[in-house]
Amino acid sequence: EEPETSHSQVEKNLRSPICCIMGHVDSGKTKLLDCVRGTNVQEGEAGGITQQIGATYFPADNIRDRTRELKSDAKLNVPGLLVIDTPGHESFANLRSRGSSLCDIAILVVDIMEGLKAQTIESLNLLKMRNTKFIVALNKVDRLYRWKRCQNAPIAKAMNKQSKDVKDEFNWRLSQVITQFKEQGINTELYHRNRDMQETFSIVPTSAISGEGIPDLLLLLVQWSQKTMVEKLTYRNTVQCTVLEVKVVEGHGTTIDVVLVNGVLHEGDQIVVCSIQGPIVTCIRALLTPHPMKELRVKGTYLHHKEVKAAQGIKITAQGLEHTIAGTELYVVGPNDDLQYIKDAAMEDTRSVMNKIQTTEKGVYVQASTLGSLEALLECLNTSVVKIPVSGIGLGPVYKKDVIKASAMLEKKKEYAAILAFDVRVTSEARELAGELGVTIFCADIIYHLFDQFKAYINDFKERKKKETVEDVVFPCVLKIMPNCVFHKKDPIVLGVAVLEGIAKIGTPLCIRQKDFSDVGRIASIQISGNPVDHASQGQEVSIKIVGDNHGQCKEFGRDFGLEDKLVSHITRKSIDVLESLYEEDMSAELWNLVEKLKRYFKI
Ligand code: GDP
């Protein structure tokens, strides 16, 4: 039986808005999806809710039923609501078309007890970037101390049942969250107080456990989108379709799960999708959706459709889909279409993302699951404070061949012999090979975790390297021996010096320039007014102790050199390399100029 559709919907010919759920881990995204879907999904098509590929469809009637208590006369102009089943920003990142979002609206879940967290902010940035409107679900209100449950009640009704203490705690936490959003440059307000939905985003308090606020969330989602997105939601006959996932299914080979946003797909349609190697042209063998009776469903059997109209989630089977890139668009070739033109169009999106990647000769290898997640990752790489140069990229699982590519850095820059694997599987062969070759693989499905891991690894690498090269590091300095300050002439030499240029550090090998240059010894200690220090800077007057290098003897003041000789750091090609690779942050332009000068002096 067809769900009843209202007249206005037919008149306006709107399609269902597409919604996805984002937020920090454990904020309750999955639970909220379950709660919105209700248990009736398990009982088949009760309430008209249908499970689709990668999404759940809520007919308007179902939403009207569930929000009756809230507003009995809710006018719904859209046929329903399509909610994407996979929570998290990876799925959102995938729902893209030419840089803008296919999701018409998003739910950003915030745990009322926790407030905004790293992933909330990451999600928020993605939403801003794609210019996607969202509603904040301020979840877990039932965790407020002494909350009285009101199963599935509208939030105002539930709130009325609470004691003053609960209300106070709620208001206090709400105002904190509003302040946190403000710090991110976003205005938010409790939804029924929100008078300006254009400027201010709405907050709906919810509980994914007992269902309070869920009616409000559903109604607001539908009403806000149908009110403000009429143009975007007007059904068009042109196919707009995005590949969400590429999956091997027993008996069907490689299939693609797509979200059909607009238009109609037919069995037998000629389609074009894209792969790294180029466009794939093939024909739709079957259009599949799950059986409505979920429990009776024999694993691997689906409903076949002759045609499917947007908006829906569908599984497509066809020949040659193996290398399809998830997150790209699917095109249909019409009878009068120029195939070459469509092939170019199909590749355009991928090309534009790939073109944005600035690869360098020395850098890490980045691997992501889909075009969308790759794009999100690279956007974050570009804006992150930690600069991570990228030498190569890949899509899909990490295989041995990727490890081999990354291992090229072992020769060029060892610390970059690493793979940043975002939201992808690493095959066990790849992991084994990486271990053998010394390629480090970082895996995370949260961008900032990946950054943190890599940052810690680079710091650790540097610290270890610094320890290994402690003998080789030489900071540049020029020292003038002060008259009447020669305290000891040899073994050790103890002198008062003025730092004319650069920085004098413990361990620095010093030499003097006569006909040629000759080594004097190493700085063993430095004192300023009798206090030991580890370095002295330009302009300072200090006393230094010089001992022989490598247990050898040092030179003798008065015999090998005198007051007229300046002491300079003995730099080498190697010491310059060490400064360059490990001490960049300690080196000023001035210090580099001095290195430059000494380099000419030592003719290196
Ligand atoms: P996700 O990582 O965002 O998908 O979070 P989940 O949906 O897996 O929820 C994380 C944990 O929080 C689980 O233990 C849930 O049972 C719990 N949880 C989620 N929503 C609520 C809620 O509204 N109230 C309470 N008390 N717990 C919740």
Question: Cβ(28) to ligand 1 under 6 A?
Answer: yes
How many CB atoms lie under 10 A from the CB of residue 148? 13
Q: Pick the residue whose CA is nearest to atom 24 on ligand 1.
A: 140
Task: List, for residues 323-342, the tens digit of each pLDDT value.
Answer: 888 888 999 999 999 999 99
- Per-residue pLDDT of 350-404, as tens digits, reads 787 777 667 788 889 999 888 878 877 777 776 666 678 888 888 888 999 999 9
Is any ligand 1 atom within 6 A of the Cβ of residue 34? no
What whole-number distance in Å separates Cα of residue 437 and Cα of residue 455?
21
Q: CA nearest 351: which of 98, 42, 101?
A: 98
Q: How far is the CA of 29 from the centre of ligand 1 (A)?
A: 7
Question: Which has more confidence, 603 or 421?
Answer: 421
C-alpha span between 368 and 445 (Å, rounded):
9
For residue 10, the model assigns a pLDDT of 45
Q: What percent of the chain has pLDDT over 70?
A: 92
Is residue 27 in contact with ligand 1, taking CB distance under 6 Å?
yes
What average pLDDT score do residues 429-434 get? 95
Residue 305, beta-bridge partner list: 287
CA 509, CA 577: separation in Å to the nearest integer?
A: 16
Question: Does residue 538's CB lie within 6 angstroms of at least one atom of ligand 1?
Answer: no
pLDDT tens profile 213-262: 999 999 999 999 988 898 889 988 889 999 988 888 888 899 999 999 99
Is 89 a pocket residue for ligand 1 (Cβ < 6 Å)? no
Helix (H) or strand (E) holding 359: strand 359-368
Q: Give the pLDDT score at 551.
A: 66
Q: What's the rounded Cα separation, in Å, for the pair 220 and 230?
A: 15
Structure tokens at 315: 């599984």
Q: Say if CB 287 and CB 308 are below 8 A apart.
A: yes
What atom in ligand 1 is closest to the CA of residue 210? 23
Q: Is 61 helix (H, G, I), strand (E, B) or coil?
A: helix
Residue nearest to atom 18 of ligand 1 (CA): 28
119, 124, 287, 341 from 26: Cα distances, Å: 11, 17, 35, 45
Instruction: Identify the residue whose C-alpha is closest to ligand 1 atom 22.
Output: 140
Question: To which H or E segment does residue 25 belong?
Answer: none
Both tokens of 73, joined, read 């006369």
The rounded Å distance from CA 27 to ligand 1 centre is 6
Q: In terms of Cα–Cα distance, which of 368, 350, 327, 321 is closest to 245?
A: 327
28, 118, 129, 27: which is closest to 448 by C-alpha?
118
CA nearest ligand 1 atom 27, residue = 140
Q: Is the CB of 140 under 6 A from ligand 1?
A: yes
**Looking at ligand 1, which residue's alpha carbon is closest to its atom 20?**
28
* Local confidence band at 54 (pLDDT 50, 70, 90 cut-offs): confident
Helices and strands, counts by H and E, the chain: 17, 31
CB atoms within 10 A of CB 409: 21
Q: Which of 31, 108, 112 to mutate to test the pocket of ligand 1 (most atoms within 8 A of CB)?
A: 31
Taking phi over 0 as left and psi of -120 to 50 as alpha, with beta for the rest, 541 belongs to: beta
State if residue 209 touches ligand 1 by the CB under 6 angstroms criterion: yes
Question: Does residue 602 carry a pLDDT above 50?
Answer: yes
Q: From ligand 1's centre to the CA of 521, what distance in Å?
A: 66
With 0.90 as the threshold, say if the pTM is over it. Answer: no
Q: Does any ligand 1 atom lie closer than 6 A to the CB of residue 547?
A: no
C-alpha count within 13 angstroms, C-beta hemisphere, residue 285: 11
DSSP code at position 193: G
CB 30 less than 6 A from any atom of ligand 1: yes
Say if CB 189 and CB 248 are below 8 A apart: no
Cβ-based neighbours of 499, under 8 Å, separated by 6 or more = 477, 478, 479, 536, 537, 538, 539, 540, 541, 542
In the prediction, which pLDDT does 375 show? Answer: 79
Mean pLDDT of the chain: 86
For the Cβ of 229 lying below 6 angstroms from any atom of ligand 1, the answer is: no
Q: What are the pLDDT digits (tens) for 457-487?
A: 988 988 998 888 888 899 999 999 999 899 9
**pLDDT tens-digit map of 171-202:** 999 999 999 999 999 999 999 999 888 889 99
Structure tokens at 87: 């929570």
Higher pLDDT, 566 or 381: 566
114 in contact with ligand 1, CB cutoff 6 A: no
Ligand 1, atom nearest to 109 Cα: 3
Ligand 1 centre to CA of 26 (Å) is: 6
The predicted model gives 297-320 an average pLDDT of: 85
**What is the CA(179)–ligand 1 centre distance, in A?**
23
pLDDT digits (tens, 9 = 90+) for 526-541: 999 989 999 999 999 9
Ligand 1 atom at minimum distance from 34 CA: 7
